[in-house]
Amino acid sequence: MRLFVGLGNPGAKYAHNRHNIGFMAIDEIARRHGFAPWRRRFQGQTSEGTIDGEKVVLLRPETFMNESGRAVQEAANFYKLGVDDIIVFQDELELPPAKLRVKVGGGIAGHNGLRSISAHIGNEYRRVRLGIGHPGIKELVHGHVLSDFAKDDRPWVEALCTAIADNAGLLASGKDSTFQNKVHLVMQAKGFTEKDEGGAV
């Protein structure tokens, strides 16, 4: 079993914020794979389903971003999951818009959701880092992440979430690099990302 955690803030006010792209990604996974209706538990909302034969629980913490770890820990304890069974979908300032990277552990780069999760379950969980770009000035970061995606951003956001959902089985089965490459190729084919130097993704 895998626990897919989408990070964001609860409520309509935040629904289209850049900070909520983690919620958007797992919402699309639930839609594409016919998951069960969302229900309230573990200080959040969960939906259960199967992707390519692997049971997956989706979790949207409703504690607000800086307390996300409470919900993650509660769900992990209930299902008796190890840290390597937990995959967190997060917005990433240090990646250009429409880019995606998967990594295990590492720094939290000031991300309050990751800080909370690491404080509750340790740091060695997998992160699906969803690029939202950096505003260029540190003082603008807060406003950048808590503002809505621009109208021009919506096509790539939808394409990225769809590509993630279509290839989520690879993530569930631990094929992280294949998942990353497939999503990259989809986004490149749609013209949302440039080809990387040397063909590396």
Tens digits of per-residue pLDDT, 25-61? 999 999 999 999 999 999 999 999 999 999 999 999 9
CB-CB neighbours of 58 under 10 Å: 27
What's the alpha-carbon Rg for the chain, to the nearest Å? 16
Q: Into how many domains does the chain fold?
A: 1
Strand ranges across the sheet with 54-61:
39-41, 44-51, 54-61, 2-6, 86-92, 126-131, 100-104
**Which residues are known catalytic residues?**
19
Interior CA angle at 104 toward 100 and 108, to 5°? Answer: 80
The domain spanning residue 13 has which CATH number?
3.40.50.1470
Write out the residue range of the structural domain in which residue 160 sits.
Answer: 2-199
pLDDT by residue, tens only, the chain of 201 residues: 999 999 999 999 999 999 999 999 999 999 999 999 999 999 999 999 999 999 999 999 999 999 999 999 999 999 999 999 999 999 999 999 999 999 999 888 789 999 999 999 999 999 999 999 999 998 999 999 999 999 999 999 999 999 999 999 999 999 999 999 999 999 999 999 775 543 443
Tokens found for residue 80:
């008796």
User: C-alpha angle with apex 12: 74 to 146, nearest 5 degrees?
Assistant: 85
| Bridge partner list, 54 | 51
φ, ψ (nearest 5 deg) of residue 161 = -65, -40
- Model pTM greater than 0.85? yes
